[in-house]
Amino acid sequence: MDTNLIWLIAMALEAAILFRGLRTELQKRYLFFYCYIGCLFLIEVLRFLCLSVTPNSYGAFYWQTELVRIVASYAVIFEIFKRALRHNPGVARIAQELLRVVFVLALAYAASDLLHGGFTSFPRATADLGRYLLYVEGALLLVMLWLFGRYRISFGRNLLGLTVGYSLVVGLDVMNLALLALPGHGYSIGLRKLLPITYLIALIIWCASLWSVQPEPAHPEVSAIDRDYDLLVAKTMAVFAHLSERGGRTFRP
Amino acid sequence: MIGLMPILLLGILILVLCGRLLLQWSKSRHDQPVTIEDFSRARAALDSMCLEAIATKRIFAIDDMEFIASKGTLELEHFFVKERQSLALRWLRLTQKQVGQLMDIHLKLASYTFEPSPRFEFRLAVNYVCFVVVSNALLTLVWLRGPFNAVRIVGYTLGVADYFCSVFSLRLEQTDPVKLGSARTPRIA
């Protein structure tokens, strides 16, 4: 497909998402996500203008705006975290701790790698910084997705679409930037051809899932479920010890 | 290239977990969060599993096999082993399914808990993974070598199944069914 056509379709889809967000008032519920889409739209327009007016400076401009895009996408992680776990305070607490640890570890790894690589030029340093920020973001998203799966966190259609589209974009971006960092980066050619299409797919997922307000899954009253978790844990440990002993005795030859 | 493997793996894992999230959503989108019906179903499964634990001893009892071997013909012995093998395989699959269902309810309940203990949750997860691995190994062993050669591993599987039985039993005792939503409650928050 023609690159300009993909570009124009992407801009049209972003505009449609923003328009529907305003019409359905979903932008109030997912404020950070709509700010991110607004930022993407602005970046796409500026890149398009830059390529048309000053094509020579497009390379440097692309990496600068890519860095802005990656920083802005952190807002979506925050949005997903906030909306998905608002009825699960316990999981939110575990997730917060886990995410903090992962963030520090990933940041330390990225910083050491960045410093080790040295600064050859400003555009290169910008590109590297963007890449490492994306790795950190990927690590945070991975932990969140794992926790959502493990604790069977229920999603409404709106939030699910938002999360799936975002995971698709981040997952493929992480792989692409990793391959791009290879000398000669021949491996990423196939993936690079695929990326604009997958980005369009992500935009279509967002557009479809956020087209109208969907009901969110009902949650039982938080305080009613169980408050005696510590007691439960202590009892379980005692029972476990007792049962292991009993099980061993029963089936000893 | 080797240094980039963790990053590539990260990207792949994000996509895999995203797929799992979709699958989980499509399976559970018509489910209530936690209902009286869930509670009763889990209780019934739990009770039947505890009863089966006693009956299981008979499926794997070597004295039955010794009795048949001493009294019956070789053909009868083969028939007996085959019958016990199919019983054992059915029991194992049912046990795996029931423990899986109970684990599911535990995780749903844990997600609403004020302060879940990460340490306990981790131990439970490790035990569950061990149970899945050992029960699958047992399934293969029973399928390949018959039920009577697998008695030792049965001991472990039963022990862990019993453990899950008690964990969920305790958890369900802690949960007041009156305070849980009914299946007839509308899904919309």
Asked if residues B112 and A88 have their Cβ atoms less than 8 Å apart, the reply is yes
Asked if residues A173 and A124 have their Cβ atoms less than 8 Å apart, the reply is no
Among the partner residues B31, B107, B188, nearest to A150 by beta-carbon distance: B107
- Inform me whether the pLDDT recorded for A137 exceeds 70: yes
SS3 content of chain A, % helix, strand, coil (to 5): 85, 0, 15
Among the partner residues B18, B116, B181, nearest to A229 by beta-carbon distance: B116
Percent of chain A with pLDDT over 90: 11
Chain A contacts of B155, Cβ < 8 Å?
A: 247-248, 250-252
CA-nearest residue to B177 within chain A is A225
Query: Tell me, what's the ipTM?
Result: 0.76
**Per-residue pLDDT, B13:** 93
Mean pLDDT, residues A143-168: 87
**Per-residue pLDDT, B158:** 65
Among the partner residues A154, A172, A226, nearest to B175 by beta-carbon distance: A226
* Structure-block tokens of residue B58: 């008979």
* Structure-block tokens of residue A202: 């992500």
CA-nearest residue to B176 within chain A is A225
A36/B178: higher pLDDT: A36
Mean pLDDT, residues A155-183: 84
Give the integer Cα–Cα distance in Å for B165 and A57.
66
Kindly report which listed range (A40-44, A243-247, B49-53, B109-113) carries the lowest average pLDDT score: A243-247
How far away is chain B from the Cα of A52, in angstroms, using its nearest Cα?
33
Give the integer Cα–Cα distance in Å for A135 and A217.
32
**Per-residue pLDDT, B14:** 92
**Per-residue pLDDT, B15:** 92
- ∠ CA(A79), CA(B8), CA(A94), 5° rounding? 40
- Inform me whether the pLDDT recorded for B179 exceeds 50: no
- ∠ CA(B29), CA(B35), CA(B40), 5° rounding? 120
How far away is chain B from the Cα of A111, in angstroms, using its nearest Cα?
15
**Per-residue pLDDT, A204:** 92
pLDDT band of residue A247 (cuts 50, 70, 90) is very low
pLDDT band of residue B33 (cuts 50, 70, 90) is low
Please state the separation of Cα B12 from the chain's center in Å. Answer: 28
**Per-residue pLDDT, A188:** 63
B82/B117: higher pLDDT: B82
Mean pLDDT, residues B59-71: 78
CA-nearest residue to B32 within chain A is A218
Burial class (CB in 10 A: 0-12, 13-18, 19+), A156: buried
pLDDT in tens, B143-163: 887 777 766 666 666 667 667
**Per-residue pLDDT, A205:** 92
pLDDT band of residue B50 (cuts 50, 70, 90) is low
Please state the separation of Cα A18 from the chain's center in Å. Answer: 19
Asked if residues B134 and B163 have their Cβ atoms less than 8 Å apart, the reply is no
Asked if residues B99 and B161 have their Cβ atoms less than 8 Å apart, the reply is yes
How far away is chain A from the Cα of B131, in angstroms, using its nearest Cα?
13
Give the integer Cα–Cα distance in Å for B176 and B189.
21
Count CB-CB contacts under 10 A for residue A219: 17
Percent of chain B with pLDDT over 90: 4
Chain B contacts of A236, Cβ < 8 Å?
A: 120, 166-167, 170
Mean pLDDT, residues A74-102: 81
Residues 6+ apart with CB under 8 A from B102: B42, B45, B46, B164, B165, B168
Range with the largest mean pLDDT of A7-11, A24-28, A133-137, B11-15: B11-15
Residues 6+ apart with CB under 8 A from B124: B106, B167
Chain B contacts of A154, Cβ < 8 Å?
A: 25, 28, 31, 33
- For A16, the 3-state DSSP assignment is helix
Beta carbons of B170 and A239 less than 8 Å apart: yes
- For A63, the 3-state DSSP assignment is helix
Asked if residues A21 and A50 have their Cβ atoms less than 8 Å apart, the reply is no
Q: How many CB pairs under 8 A join A and B?
A: 203
Mean pLDDT, residues B161-173: 65
β-sheet bridge partners, residue B188: A217
- Inform me whether the pLDDT recorded for B135 exceeds 70: yes
Give the integer Cα–Cα distance in Å for A30 and A169.
18
CA-nearest residue to A184 within chain B is B1
Amino acid at A252: R
Beta carbons of B25 and A160 less than 8 Å apart: yes
pLDDT band of residue B54 (cuts 50, 70, 90) is low
Enumerate the domain spans of chain A.
Answer: 3-227
- What count of Cα atoms within 13 Å lies in the side-chain half-sphere of residue A225? 24
Give the integer Cα–Cα distance in Å for A52 and B34.
57
- For B181, the 3-state DSSP assignment is strand
pLDDT band of residue B16 (cuts 50, 70, 90) is very high
How far away is chain B from the Cα of A191, in angstroms, using its nearest Cα?
12
Among the partner residues A91, A174, A219, nearest to B14 by beta-carbon distance: A174
Q: Please spell the DSSP secondary structure of A100-165, one letter per residue.
A: HHHHHHHHHHHHHHHHHH----HHHHHHHHHHHHHHHHHHHHHHHHHHHHHTT----HHHHHHHHH
The H-or-E segment that residue A205 falls in is helix A188-209
pLDDT in tens, A90-111: 777 777 777 788 778 777 776 7
Give the integer Cα–Cα distance in Å for A8 and A6.
5
Among the partner residues B11, B113, B189, nearest to A218 by beta-carbon distance: B189
- Inform me whether the pLDDT recorded for B186 exceeds 50: no
